[in-house]
Structure 1
Amino acid sequence: MTYDLHGKVVLITGATGGLGRAAAQALRGRGAKLALLDLDPGSLDEMAATLGGPDVAAGWGADVRSIESLETALKAAAQHFGGIDVVVAGAGVSSVVALEYIDPATFDRVIDINLNGVARTFRAALPHVKARRGYLLAISSMAAFVHSPLNTAYTASKAGVWALCDSLRLELRQQGVGVGSLHPTFFQTPMMDAVIDGPSSTLVWNNHQGIWKFVALEQVVSALVDCIEQRHDLVTVPRGQGLVAKTPGLMRRLIERIGFDPKKVAEAVRLSDETKAS
């Protein structure tokens, strides 16, 4: 049975990002009311206005690295709209550099935002979503199953999100709350611009051709909306990559053999230090 989004309150973290904006528009098109969370309140106010104004869309500044910030924002959003039905944990960052050269603070930041930020978001959301037997959705990645070189912090964070959702789903099953994770492959957002401009795009991901090709943002958004409406546990984008998600141990060696040229990876590792220095 489809989970009707008309009149439901959907809260999105990372709302002003490429996926966040597109998802907000699509969800508003389904009749959802939107609570938009991000770091910049000014951008949120402008975005909320374009989506219909305070009766159907409103923004609150929040930092997923602070549980207090999230609790305050979710409480305010729940008071404004009368409750919260769905939470989309979409805030995320990336860093493409070899572990040998990555600044430890950068590694910690990726983990703290991408993984701990999801945990904090869900923790702050639980009292509200449990009251409405709602749904929690984390934006993970195919990187949860395909572990690229020069991507240690990102893949670790996204694999962690997948595991977090699986565990939390069991905790909340008897309380009527659904938990899902969305795992898109590469798609065009401002966050990906730096990756495309760097040497890893060519050396590690074959300039995003073949098995590393981009999917359309619209395809990811459509899957996100479907994930909520069907209260799915796990969805990959494209869906044809579901086998990779379901059998990561069996497929990993084959994907590594097909996808990663050892000499090019070694060159990318060397260049990642130069990129960091520049």
Structure 2
Amino acid sequence: MSTTVPLAVQVVVVTGAARGVGAQLARKLAQRGARVALVGLEPEELKAVAAQCGPDARYWEADVTDLDALSAVARQIQDHYGRIDTVVANAGIALGGPLQDSDPRAFERVIEVNLLGSVATARAFLPALVFSRGYLLQIASLAALTPAPLMAAYCASKAGVEAFAHSLRAEVAYQGVKVGVGYLSWTDTDMVRGADQDTVLAQMRSRLPWPANKTYPLAPAVDRLVAGIARRSPHVYAQAWLRGMQSVRGVLPGLIATVGARDVARLAPRLKATAATRLRPVGAGGAADTAARRAAVE
């Protein structure tokens, strides 16, 4: 059951807030009167976004996979604002290509940032959310609803965060904390534009059935997330058609195993020839996560 809480009375924390969905979400929430706390790993970008969010906005630099640092940031934010009402676990990176060609550490880094970083975010901020009887929105993806060849790390991490959030919802409900999952399809961000620079993977994506083969504008997607945050919804769909995927997700693995196998076989020589170009996770701006540390945005 959703409960509408006016955003104008909320303090909202957004991780991965330097770019893309996180930055746009912070700006939209601030426009609705929320006081926003930005968390990420790009201080100059975070500072610029905070300046766009008004005088009450602040930013903190932290790696979501560093529980100690994140917990310290959570305490600092609560001390600064006096409370934390909503936390949006948004930070994430992606890696495309065949498993056999991927660097094991890069593959693990996607799981570490997207899944374990979300777990650390919940651990760090739950004490404050219990105090305020607040709301945690976990950003997942279309990748949580349907598997996709050449995206094993990303799909595994997003399916994981979806399951994690659903499990956590039942654990903390008696404490008054609500937990939601936000789903996005391909949305026009630096991450998606960067991924599309890989022409082989872009060709593979173009062959997906409509509407999953489109890139959707950022602003309407974030507007839907903002509305879901205000309602403290258990499920938030950044593109309306994603809701319908819930009813057919059971048949998708078998279908994709058949159709995807043909496409991968056809593209295998090109994938092998370009393997060296996708050895590290891709984040904001399409830049490689060269230090294997920078948590980019969805």
With the shorter chain as reference, the TM-score category is over 0.9
Please list every run of at least 4 consecutive aligned residues from structure 1 whose deviation after the TM superposition is greater than 4 angstroms. 207-210, 254-257
> 1:171 and 1:269, CA in 2 relative to 1: closer, same or farther beyond 3 A?
farther
2:241 match: secondary structure: helix
Per the alignment, residue 17 of structure 1 pairs with 19
Q: Aligned pair 1:149/2:149, yes or no?
A: yes
Letter of the structure 2 residue corresponding to residue 226 of structure 1: A
What is the CA–CA distance in structure 2 between the aligned matches of 1:218 and 1:42, rounded to whole Å? Answer: 23
1:248 match: secondary structure: coil
Q: How far is the alpha carbon of 1:241 from its aligned partner?
A: 2.5
The Cα shift of 1:266 comes to 2.0
Across the aligned residues of Structure 1 and Structure 2, the Cα RMSD in angstroms comes to 1.9
**Over residues 171-190 of structure 1, what are the superposed CA-to-partner deviations in whole Å (9 max), with x where a residue is unaligned?**
01111111011111101110
Q: How does 1:78-97 map to 2 (within 5 A)?
A: 78-97=78-97
Q: Aligned letter for 1:83? A: R
Q: Quote the offset at 1:270 in angstroms.
A: 3.9
> How many residues get paired?
274
Give the structure 1 partner of residue 113 of structure 2.
113
- CA deviation vs aligned residue, 1:80-113 (integer Å, no higher than 9, x gap): 1111110001100011111111100011000000
Q: C-alpha displacement at 1:204, in angstroms?
A: 4.0
**Which residue number in structure 2 is paired with residue 48 of structure 1?**
50
Contact 1:88 1:139 in 2 (8 A): yes
58-67 vs 197-206, greater mean Cα deviation: 197-206
Distance, in Å, in 1 between the alignment partners of 2:261 and 2:66 is 40
Name the residue aligned to 1:228.
229
The code of the aligned residue for 1:133 comes to: R
The residue that corresponds to 1:264 in the other structure is 263
Displacement, 1:39?
0.7
Higher RCO by CA contacts (8 Å cutoff, separation 6 or greater):
2
Cα–Cα, structure 1 residues 41 and 176, in superposed 2: closer, same or farther, change >3 Å? same
Report percent identity of matched pairs.
Answer: 36
The residue that corresponds to 1:69 in the other structure is: 69
- Between the aligned partners of 2:228 and 2:240, the Cα distance in structure 1 is 12
The match for 1:104 is 104
Q: Which amino acid in structure 2 is aligned with residue 147 of structure 1?
A: P
Pairwise mapping of residues 127-142 of structure 1 onto structure 2 (< 5 A)? 127-142=127-142
Question: 1:9·1:34 contact (CA, 8 Å) conserved in 2?
Answer: yes
Distance 2:209 2:104 in 1: 28
Q: Is the 8 A contact 1:65 1:113 kept in 2?
A: yes
Q: Retained in 2: the 8 A contact 1:88–1:138?
A: yes
CA distance in 1, matches of 2:262, 2:252: 22
Greater shift, 33-42 or 263-272, is seen at 263-272
Q: Quick one: structure 1 residues 270 and 168, their matched pair in 2 at CA, closer, same or farther if it must change by over 3 Å? A: farther
Letter in 2 for 1:41: P
Question: Which residue of structure 2 lines up, in the alignment, with residue 201 of structure 1?
Answer: 202
Greater shift after overlay, 118-127 or 34-43?
34-43
Query: Could you tell me whether the CA contact under 8 Å between 2:147 and 2:252 is conserved in 1?
Result: no
Q: Which amino acid aligns with 1:3?
A: V
Structure 1 residue identity aligned to 2:43: P
Q: Which runs of 5+ in 2 are unaligned?
A: 278-298
Q: Which amino acid aligns with 1:25?
A: R
1:275 counterpart = 2:277: no
Q: Which moved more, 1:211-220 or 1:19-28?
A: 211-220
- The residue that corresponds to 1:123 in the other structure is 123
Distance in 1 (CA, whole Å) between partners of 2:65 and 2:268 is 29
The match for 2:291 is none
What CA deviation, in whole Å up to 9, does each residue of 1:93-137 have, x standing for no partner? 011111111100011000000011001001100010110000000
Give me the whole-angstrom Cα distance separating, in 1, the residues matched to 2:247 and 2:238: 13
Deviation at 1:44, TM superposition (A): 1.8
Q: Decide whether aligned partners of structure 1 residues 68 and 214 sit closer, same or farther in structure 2, where only a CA change above 3 A counts.
A: same
Gaps of 5+ in 1: none
